[in-house]
């Protein structure tokens, strides 16, 4: 089912992001995680696309497995990095054949290894990828948004301009990069509204279960962790860190839904415990009506 049609129901969405394991011996972890989380009947799940070709074949394999074996509504990630037009066309044709309706179109991060060949083939920017996919069929296309600005963007205003280019080319909704201060999301939403962007903006939430790990993530993507939270977590045991991170994420989610966010997208890191703890505490937040901000009306989207 196309995700844009789910937004039209006027209630908050629930979705999960997974990544294809690089090692076969780790695939059982993802299987177990999916088995635990699918009981929450997510509106969709997404599968990341390996940078530089590292897990791309696995992305398609897991996309189809989650759809056909687990019965989930799946969105496959596609990136500009290392992708030729013919490669994208081949994948899009396969998704059409297999009945996959949703694609997350991303620029992608170039490989960090020094001396790597030029990662940009036929697509340099995500808006070009959106435009190309849109010509290939009636896909629902999601794109990425950055509440604190993309790490390479010269300003928040320029970042919003780039985002509008993606929407103008046909993006149906936006999923944000992770953030830990809801004020970034609300300010981001205000900037997009001023820019004339009206598609839904789904906030991406990553519960902190390991302070060192999340610090590395934020350094790579340009997000920030509140210093007060870091101080509270320093020196805690793994179990207390998990509880603190879960409690913080619960408060984030409750405020986001209360203030009109059209749902919650969880970055699971292929683990289920923290996400389950959050969802058990939140209860049926999808039973509430979503607020008016960035929510499409009938006939839009």
* Beta bridge pairs of residue 128: none
117 is catalytic: no
Tracing tokens 């090692």 back to the chain, one arrives at: 23
Q: How far apart are CA 16 and CA 30, in angstroms?
A: 12
Cα separations (Å) of 296 from 192, 262, 291, 301?
14, 10, 11, 6
Query: Are residues 135 and 96 in contact, defined by beta-carbon separation less than 8 angstroms?
Result: no
| Bridge partners (DSSP) listed for residue 104 | 77, 142
User: Starting at the edge strand that comes first in sequence, how are the strands of the sheet with 102-106 ordered?
Assistant: 201-202, 173-176, 140-145, 102-106, 74-79, 44-47, 13-18, 263-267, 204-205
Residue 81: closest CA among 49, 113, 103: 49
Q: Which of the following is catalytic: 17, 193, 234, 276?
A: 17
Regarding beta strands 173-176 and 140-145, do their DSSP bridges make them parallel or antiparallel, or are they unpaired? parallel
The answer to whether 89 and 127 have CB atoms below 8 angstroms apart is no
- Residue 35: beta bridge partners? none
Give catalytic residue positions.
17
């Amino acid at each position: 089912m196309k995700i844009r049609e789910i937004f039209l129901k006027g209630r908050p969405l629930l979705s999960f992001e997974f990544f294809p394991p690089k090692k076969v011996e780790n695939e059982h972890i993802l299987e177990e995680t999916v088995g635990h989380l699918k009981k929450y009947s997510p509106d969709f799940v997404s599968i990341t696309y390996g940078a530089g070709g590292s897990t791309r074949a696995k992305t398609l394999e897991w996309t189809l497995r989650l759809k056909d074996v687990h019965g989930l509504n799946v969105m496959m990630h596609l990136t500009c990095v290392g992708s030729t037009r013919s490669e994208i066309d081949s994948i899009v044709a396969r998704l059409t054949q297999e009945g996959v309706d949703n694609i997350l179109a991303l620029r992608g991060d170039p490989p960090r290894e020094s001396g790597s060949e030029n990662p940009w083939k036929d697509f340099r920017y995500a808006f070009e990828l959106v435009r190309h996919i849109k010509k290939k069929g009636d896909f629902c296309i999601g794109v990425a948004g950055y509440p604190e600005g993309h790490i390479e963007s010269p300003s928040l205003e320029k970042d919003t301009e780039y985002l509008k280019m993606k929407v103008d080319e046909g993006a149906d909704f936006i999923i944000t990069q992770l953030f830990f201060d809801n004020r970034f999301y609300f300010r981001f939403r205000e900037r997009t509204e001023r820019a004339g962007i009206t598609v839904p903006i789904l906030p991406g939430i990553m519960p902190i279960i390991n302070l060192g790990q999340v610090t590395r993530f934020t350094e790579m993507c340009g997000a920030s962790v509140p210093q007060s939270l870091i101080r509270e977590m320093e020196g805690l045991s793994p179990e207390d860190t998990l509880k603190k991170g879960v409690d913080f994420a619960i408060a984030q989610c409750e405020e986001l839904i209360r203030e009109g966010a059209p749902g919650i997208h969880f970055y699971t890191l292929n683990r289920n415990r923290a996400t389950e703890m959050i969802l058990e505490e939140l209860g049926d937040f999808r039973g509430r009506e979503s607020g008016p901000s960035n929510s499409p009306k009938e006939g839009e989207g």
